Amino acid sequence: MNGDNLHAAALKLETELNAYAVIDPEAAELYADLKPLLKLVLQGVITTPWEWGQIPGRYRFSEQGLQKYEKLEQAFATFCIELTGGETPTLKWMREFRSQNN
């Protein structure tokens, strides 16, 4: 887990949450769910990876319609990847493969 990458991902996610929370109540709820976790990350308290299931709010994208906000969804995904230990070699390969085919 890279603390600098996690911190940057938390800042980006917080920026996106602030932007979308004012226009969508579901985004505001997601921000409320994540605010304590983001605070701990930004304070440097979290130093070990979390499990995917420990991260609040994932269902809000698939079940509550937040997937329509691409920037928010991407920021959340990046934050989750960093919080769970960072990008795996397989994920890196998949991203490279996808970028070559686009």
> pTM for the whole thing?
0.86
The residue ranges of every structural domain in the chain are: 3-100
Give the pLDDT band (50/70/90) at residue 102. Answer: low
Residue type, 5: N
Whether the pLDDT of residue 90 is over 80: the answer is no
Alpha-carbon distance 42 to 82, whole Å?
Answer: 13
Q: 3, 47 in Cβ contact below 8 A?
A: yes
Supply the DSSP symbol for 68: G
Model confidence over 31-87: pLDDT tens digits?
Answer: 999 999 999 999 999 999 999 899 999 889 888 889 999 999 999 999 999 999 987
16-20, 83-87, 93-97: which has the minimum mean pLDDT? 93-97
Predicted pLDDT of residue 96: 78
